[in-house]
Chain A
Amino acid sequence: MKAERWQQVERLYHSTLEKEVGERAAFLAEACAGDEGMRREVESLLAYEDQAENFIESPALEVAANMMAEEQGATVVAGQTIKHYKIISPLGAGGMGEVYLAEDTRLGRKVALKFLPVLFTQDKGHLRRFEQEARAVAALSHPNVCTIHEVVAAGEGRHCIVMEYVEGVTLKERIAEGRMKVDEALDAAIQVASALFAAHAAGIVHRDIKLENIMLRRDGYVKVLDFGLAKLTERQASLVDTEALTMLANTSPGVVMGTVSYMSPEQARGLPVDARTDIWSLGIVLYEMVAGQKPFEGATPTDVIISIAEREPVPLTRCAPEVPVRLERIVKKALAKDREERYQTAEDMLVDLKGLRHELAIGAEVERYRQPSSGGEPAATMGKRQLITSRFFPLALTRNRILIFTALIGTLIIAGLASALFFRQSSTPAPQIEIKSLAVLPMSNLSGDPAQDYFADGMTDTLIAGLAQVGALRVISRTSVMQYKGSPKPLAEIARELNVDAIVEGSVQRFGERVQVNVQLIHATSDLHLWSETYNRDLRDVLTLQNEVARAVTQAIQIKPTPQEQMRLTQARPINPAAYDYFLRGRFYLNRQTKADNETAIEMFDRAIATDPTFAAAHAELAQACIWRLFLFTPDEKQWEEKAFVAVEKALSLDSDSAEAHLARGRFLWTPSNHFPHDKAIQEYRRALGLNPSLDEARNQLALVYGHVGLLDEALQELEKGLAINPSNTLARFRVGETLLFQGKYEQALAALRNVPREVNPALVGHQIVWALFNLGRKEEASTTLEQFLRDYPEDNRGLYTSLQAVFSASAGQERVAEEKIKFAVERGKGFGHFHHTAYHIACAYAHMNKPAQAIKWLEVAAGDGFPCYPLFETDPNLNNLRQDARFVTLLAKLRQQWDYHRSIL
């Protein structure tokens, strides 16, 4: 084109552009004046006017940079060959570059090629370190670690990892479809933990465990990707200046956010990391799989980091109510901010995860057998029954199903197999698993607020009380289980220590007037998960809930409550939440057993009663609190007696079936001032035990009364039962020793007494040890021990020790000393209603001195004042000098009559 003509084109082009769009064609035609070539030339340029707006407005450098960004993404195209790898198709993008499916033309297999961003592979030294790490990963050859075949150069400084092709979806994609079921998530977590275990053992820390890096294969296999890639990025901080990182953080929030969310607190702080950082990240992944959301979130990466460093995640059970408490615990442990408190190794976490899966597998299998109706009963009856059971026993098993269930468990234990296949095929009859005893471990307080501990403890109590109503079941008392609060001991060990067949554990979470309780039942020796349920209730229904749980558990372990128990388990009226709250707080303080706490407890029960005057249990507990106050702290403040009396009677008038109220009434009655009304006390304790066989304190009190009236074998039986429920009741252990002493079994008694921890009323335990030693003929030792005790506890309130000194002196022929000691003991014991044991010792001293009249007089005092222990009087060698005395024979006969009477009412 000639320059002049081109200038003309240019002029015409600009003039035409100045015209309105509609006029341009006419204007141009006229301006060209028949020069058709010119007209077409200008018109063809005008045709591009619209497209020209944005054309090459972005500088070439930007265009090329975009191109490069894509190349780190998608510059590779199908058919291209890198080394002997032929690209087939793109697989997807990740933060660490684009991934392609390729064919290894030499080996004829599919591989994945991951192109690493040039930015990360520029530095030769760094690339070399990465290649070393990649070789280490390649050497792992673990089924859950995505295998790296090699790292190849792809030209222009680019590198790609050739790795195993995993056909499936990433966990991120999986979760996009909805949160995972617990067993599915658990399965994935186990495989990841297994991969981490192997990698950590080889000294490889992943550092970037996240949903995007975990592939889920269709066959259920999980593969962890990008092991070793940390070696590429760890240089970022040192080689790329902070400006670039800030820029990255500001302009690519998505990318940075994704990485930040999985950072461990130490990573977020920029501290050196170790294998435990992977455990943290796995905790996040596990949480996310189950909850469907990240535990730590925020609007910006900085917010997320703050959340990681400072906040506790929303409890898993709130996002996913079906989550077992054990899983919550595992996640919590993995997400401990302080890595010292985390799982220290992936193996530890793996063990816990597998344990839980094992449990759940059994649970699921049992569930499967619950579903189909197993016939046997007419359909109509079945229907009705199921209607009832589904209302009141949401988890009830029919008898046949229980048999199948227990057979299954039995088979399982014998075979040691959890295989579902085995279950389905097994038709062999197997021995039944028997659960006759269980312990309710302290429920965990999931509120995240320690101030709510009392509520969780209260629920534990309530649950224990509910289960304890079932006679055929031995339920460990709260005092014995509380020592396991937060204990890391394995369940099997706890069960062994408490000698129970099963453990109930769970968690409590309260949201205002709502309460969510998660309970599960675990067979102790096999660690089988027998049953679990989550209840979400109004706080006012919490007593109904307690019974519901109790019934579900008894059903699950095939214990049939008696009709009365059955009835009690269905009765429960709604309670006022505020009153219940005071009630639980009161119990919390009451159990702490200090004077100040006792005062607080009484205050709380008073408030509970003020809020709901018809709350029977609160009256009963108030009575207990007053009695404890009277017995333990302020024996002179008679107002507590009055208050206790009113509370007991009020409790019983509201609920004559309150075991606690009957226990309180018994304790309240059986006092020195009432002259120890054994019959009445026995009656109250038996009633209490009839209502709640696991009320161990009622057993101990009953044993105490039995011991005094000479029902020694029966006393030992009750103590044994009480101790089975509450092994940590040391007072009961003392009483065993004491009862054995009354039976004349001195060796056994001494052994038992020596086993009682010293801190338990040393004066009380000590005097019986001394007495045992004396009766075993170890008089020197008895004497020395006695003197030592008197030095340690010089007050000798009831004159007990002094009366023992009298016996020792009398038996040694030191009559004058003995007489003095007796006088002293009587003086010391003045005002102490509980004097009958001292009286008995004085009698023994006189017997040794061969003064039958005085001896018999003191024996009558002892017996008449609450200690008519016929078998002791009849067999005690200390009284041998009296045996020929007619008055003694008469006394024995009288005691024998009483004894026969008490035996008759057993």
Chain B
Amino acid sequence: MVCMQTNSPKEITRLLVAWGGGDQSALEELAPLVHSELHRLAHHYMGRERAGHTLQTSALVNEAYIRLIDWKDVRWQNRAHFFAVSAQLMRRILVDFARDRQYLKRGGGALQVSLGEAAAFTVERGADLVALDEALTALAEVDPRKAQIVEMRFFGGLSIEEVAEVLKISKETVMRDWRLAKVWLLRELGREAGGEG
């Protein structure tokens, strides 16, 4: 919001299109916008008193996504393409962000898979995102649609329904894909972390 004031959703959309079209400099302009939203959310987490506030938290996250990728306002001929691009963009920015933190933590103890444990926010999270990114790349080779669903859901912040609409498949299919993708990724991450599980 601090920065958003100078960047309207239209501007963001323009940047997204540009980046989708291969303009790498658009990323440099988009990344600070994402960081700004991160700061805002981070500020919210600083109190660390999140118990009982989960509803509010998801509302805030949704709001952030909407500010970044306001799909309702987007009049694209190819909506699927737009969301694919914005989800990729978010993935890129957030994984980069995580990679920087992973660098900081180097030498700092065992890797833990904790992306699913809402309460356990640890310094290893940076590593999780980076590892997940790698696992997701592997998944795309086996099943591109499932990888894309993960990308849209996890990085792009879309709901099951939204993904179904964008990809023009049934909600049930999205849910089945999502479920299998998660166990596949978990198995992949487990292998990377030292073959346990």
Name A's B-contacting residues (CB within 8 A): 1, 6, 10, 13-14, 44-49, 51-80, 117-119, 122, 156, 239-241, 243-244, 247-248, 251-255
Contact = CB atoms under 8 A, between A and B. Distances in A.
A661 B1 CA distance: 83
A62 B45 CA distance: 10
B183 A45 contact: yes
Contacts of B101: 67, 71, 75
Nearest to B186: A48
Given A64-B38, A67-B121, 15 more contacts: A14-B180, A55-B116, A59-B61, A59-B154, A59-B157, A61-B94, A62-B41, A62-B61, A63-B94, A68-B38, A69-B48, A75-B105, A75-B123, A252-B44, A254-B47
A55 B38 contact: no
9 contacts: A44-B187, A46-B183, A48-B183, A58-B61, A69-B41, A69-B43, A117-B43, A240-B2, A255-B46
B167 interface: no
A57 B154 CA distance: 7
Given A60-B154, A61-B94, A68 B42 contact: yes
Question: Which A-B residue pairs are the 3 nearest by beta carbons?
Answer: A252-B47, A65-B41, A69-B45
B179 A244 contact: no
Interface string B28-64: 0000001001111111111111100100111011001
B42 A49 contact: no
A674 to B, nearest CB: 83
Nearest to A253: B49
B182 A68 contact: no
Nearest to A41: B187
Contacts of B56: 251
Contacts of A1: 142
Given A48-B190, A251-B53, A79 B42 contact: no
Contact of B49 (A51, A52, A252): A252
A10 B58 CA distance: 31
A1 B141 CA distance: 9
Contact of B104 (A48, A62, A63, A75): A75
B185 A56 contact: yes
A55 B90 CA distance: 18
A2 to B, nearest CB: 10
User: How would you classify the secondary structure of chain A's contact residues: helix, strand, loop or mixed?
Assistant: helix
A840 B131 CA distance: 119
A53 B39 CA distance: 28
A55 B39 contact: no
B176 interface: yes
Interface residues of B, number: 67
Contacts of B182: 48, 52, 55-56
Contacts of A80: 104
Contacts of B40: 65, 244
B153 to A, nearest CB: 8
A43 to B, nearest CB: 11
Contact of B126 (A44, A49, A67, A240): A67
A59 B65 contact: yes
Contacts of A156: 100
A53 to B, nearest CB: 7
Given A55-B186, A77-B107, A69 B46 contact: yes
Nearest to A243: B1
A240 B5 CA distance: 12
A758 B92 CA distance: 94
B74 to A, nearest CB: 18
A201 B179 CA distance: 66
A227 to B, nearest CB: 22
A65 B118 contact: no
Contact of A6 (B50, B108, B142, B190): B142
Interface string B116-139: 111001110110110010000000
B82 interface: no
User: How would you classify the secondary structure of chain B's contact residues: helix, strand, loop or mixed?
Assistant: helix
A679 B45 CA distance: 90
A391 B113 CA distance: 71
Nearest to A65: B41
Contact of B121 (A66, A76, A79): A66
A118 B39 contact: yes
B117 A54 contact: yes
A118 B125 CA distance: 19
A61 B57 contact: no
Contacts of B197: 47-48, 51
Contacts of A55: 115-116, 182, 185-186
A622 to B, nearest CB: 65
B87 to A, nearest CB: 9
Contact of A61 (B123, B157, B186, B190): B157
B76 to A, nearest CB: 21
B184 interface: yes
Nearest to B45: A69
Nearest to A55: B116
A52 B183 contact: yes
Interface in B128-171: 128-129, 132, 142-143, 150, 153-155, 157
B27 interface: no
A54 B116 contact: yes
A140 B104 CA distance: 34
Contacts of B123: 70, 74-75, 77
A66 B42 CA distance: 6
A775 to B, nearest CB: 88
A108 B142 CA distance: 55
Nearest to A45: B183
Nearest to B182: A52
Given A75-B104, A251-B56, A54 B121 contact: no
A52 B188 CA distance: 12
B63 to A, nearest CB: 10
B20 to A, nearest CB: 19
B154 A69 contact: no
Contact of B115 (A61, A63, A75): A63
B47 A255 contact: yes
Nearest to B41: A65
Contact of A53 (B48, B116, B154): B116
B16 to A, nearest CB: 15
A76 B104 contact: yes
Contacts of B94: 60-61, 63-64
B47 A56 contact: no
A51 to B, nearest CB: 6
A26 to B, nearest CB: 21
A70 B125 contact: yes
Contacts of B2: 122, 239-240
A254 B38 contact: no
Nearest to B155: A60
B98 interface: yes
Contacts of A79: 107-108
A77 B104 CA distance: 7
Contacts of A48: 182-183, 186-187, 190, 197
A45 B180 contact: yes
B152 to A, nearest CB: 10
A72 B142 CA distance: 38
B177 to A, nearest CB: 9
A319 B187 CA distance: 60
Given A60-B129, A63-B115, A68 B108 contact: no
A57 B38 contact: no
B49 A67 contact: no
Contacts of A63: 94, 115, 125, 128-129
B184 A45 contact: yes
A64 B157 contact: no
A72 B42 contact: yes
B97 interface: yes
Interface in B79-107: 90-91, 94, 97-98, 100-101, 104-105, 107
A56 B132 contact: yes
Contacts of B186: 48, 51-52, 55
Contacts of A122: 2, 39
B46 A72 contact: yes
